Structure 1
Amino acid sequence: MRKKRGYSRETPTALVRDYKLFAIACEGGKREPAYFRAFQFMSNRIAVDLIEEIVSDEEALAINPNKSAPKWVLERAIRYIEKEGLNDEDDLWFILDVDRWEYSQLKEIADFCEQNANWNIVLSNPCFEVWLYFHKRKNIKDSESKTCGDFKYEISKFEKGGYHPLKWIPDLLIAIENSKVTDINKDYFFPEINTTKLFQLGEAIIEVVGKKGFEKYCENIIPKLLQEEIDRTKRKKKK
């Protein structure tokens, strides 16, 4: 069981938690949440919260009835912080796709992050699948994909059985290396076409977990998670 999330000076030492929290706001469909959800099993040195799973649509609508972007994302994150709390060591990450937003909207969130310690925005241009591409391929210039739909189709052909996050995550270090090389302006929040800033989140996680801890996760935990999934599928078919 993880230790108490928030603490004050009066909190007994035994209750002060010993892990770093990564709170993630991702506006994708099923693919992004499934990918980041798997990170929570990586190490007891980190915890991963998907904000969308903790602050419901109903709660977010109560804050912002018009569902106007980017206030929808920002206020949902603020509501999460009010409910869950963040320590000074914790990180909040906005994982967004360029194709879903206007530049001015993304710039507003980026400016907001600049004003808040440990708030981060990492974008993929045009979409999250660019980040996934770098897990399996080094040179994205070899790709003929132009749209997000193209990238989704191309990625589905990289592994037998199609895309599965647990089969991609073992290549996280490769993805960090491949995508970081293509980022020609690392000090600017907005990525060039067919590049991604998601390596920043990958590096932040590896910094806490450690490369050896990550290797143990890939060798010992991921096979068990895959087997559990296979067993669940078999049980469902028997019903």
Structure 2
Amino acid sequence: MNMIITRRLFERRPPSREAKIIYIFCEGARRELAYFQYFKEMDSRINLEIYELNPHEDNSPLGLLEIAKNCILVTAENPEPKYNLQDQDEVWIVLDSDPDKGNSRRPQISAIKSEIESHDRWSLVESNPCFEVWLYFHGQAEFADFKGMEACKTWKQKVNTLLAGGFDSRRHPIYIADATENAKANFFLDEAGNLKIGSTEIYRLSESMLRLLGDRIRDAKAKLDT
């Protein structure tokens, strides 16, 4: 895998509001933000809005849902939300499955899934146990199986050993199409219908992004081989 990648692979183009906007709300304030920002800067034809959490905001699953609602939904108490959602736009909430000390995450995630059913084009995607599962599939086609894989810390260490210098959000996201294929092929649920450890639903979000960016990704990757 050739990792010599710069943003000069991508030609800046004028923005167009005719294209849909994909709004992304992540509980992680650093790695997830840097990953999705890569695509926002790549090509203005994909209109991404990645909400940046501040340290004082509630990044629990239900807290993140409330942030998304306050940013998007028009109500009597909130007549002018941060974002102007249009009919073609999508809203994605990106969460980890890793349980907290009170084991409150699963009930919260279930509550979010029920609530967003009433909102068109709102989706929730999980990674079990953490976002690094998604990053893993950028360079790996096989389902992960290693000691301690139930812990986020172990996944962070694993991803760093698979790529020289660790996963670099300035370069490696270009392999999003590979990650989509790999993650989808290794997506499994347990008997209760929850994600198995080592599975991620982020491929669903990436499929939506690739419908807009697919040609640009292929063109950029082709330049790496010339």
Contact 2:188 2:199 in 1 (8 A): no
Query: Between Structure 1 and Structure 2, how many residues are aligned?
Result: 196
**1:109: how far off?**
0.9
Could you tell me which residue of structure 1 aligns to residue 174 of structure 2? Answer: 170
Q: Unpaired runs of 5+ in structure 1?
A: 4-16, 61-66, 223-239
In the superposition, the TM-score normalised over structure 2's length comes to 0.77
Q: Please say if residues 61 and 105 of structure 2, whose CA atoms lie closer than 8 Å, have aligned partners that are also in contact.
A: no
- Cα deviation code 1:54-96 (max 9, x no counterpart): xx566x6xxxxxx484442122112221111111111110000
**TM-score, normalisation: structure 1:** 0.73
Query: Root-mean-square deviation (CA), in Å?
Result: 2.4
Provide closer, same or farther for how the CA distance between residues 90 and 148 of structure 1 changes in structure 2, counting only shifts above 3 A: same
Structure 2 runs not aligned, ≥5 long: 1-13, 73-80
SS of the aligned residue for 2:43 comes to coil
Q: In 2 relative to 1, CA 2–106 (structure 1 residues): closer, same or farther, beyond 3 Å?
A: same
Question: Do the aligned partners of 1:121 and 1:189 also contact (CA within 8 Å) in 2?
Answer: no
State the partner residue of 2:45: 45
Alignment of 1:173-184 (within 5 A): 173-184=177-188
Q: Secondary structure at the match of 1:166?
A: coil
Deviation at 1:149? 0.6
Q: How does 1:86-165 map to 2 (within 5 A)?
A: 86-100=85-99, 102-146=105-149, 147-165=151-169
How many Å apart are 1:189 and its aligned residue?
7.7
Which of these two proteins has the greater Rg computed from alpha carbons?
A: 1
Aligned residue in 1 for 2:205 = 201
Contact residue 110 and residue 189 of structure 1 kept, 8 A: no
* Contact 2:29/2:52 (<8 A) preserved: no
More helix as a share of residues = 1
C-alpha contact (below 8 Å) 1:125/1:192 kept by paired residues = yes
* Displacement after TM superposition at 1:159 (Å): 2.0
Which aligned runs of 4 or more in structure 1 are off by greater than 6 angstroms? none
Identity among equivalent pairs (%): 30
Q: Confirm or deny that 1:72 pairs with 2:66.
A: no
CA-to-aligned-CA distance 1:126-181 (integer Å, 9 cap, x gap): 11111111111111344334211111011112222222113321211111111101
* Distance (whole Å) between structure 2 residues aligned to residue 92 and residue 195 of structure 1: 21
Distance 1:133 1:70, change over 3 A: closer
What amino acid is aligned across from residue 129 of structure 2 in structure 1?
P
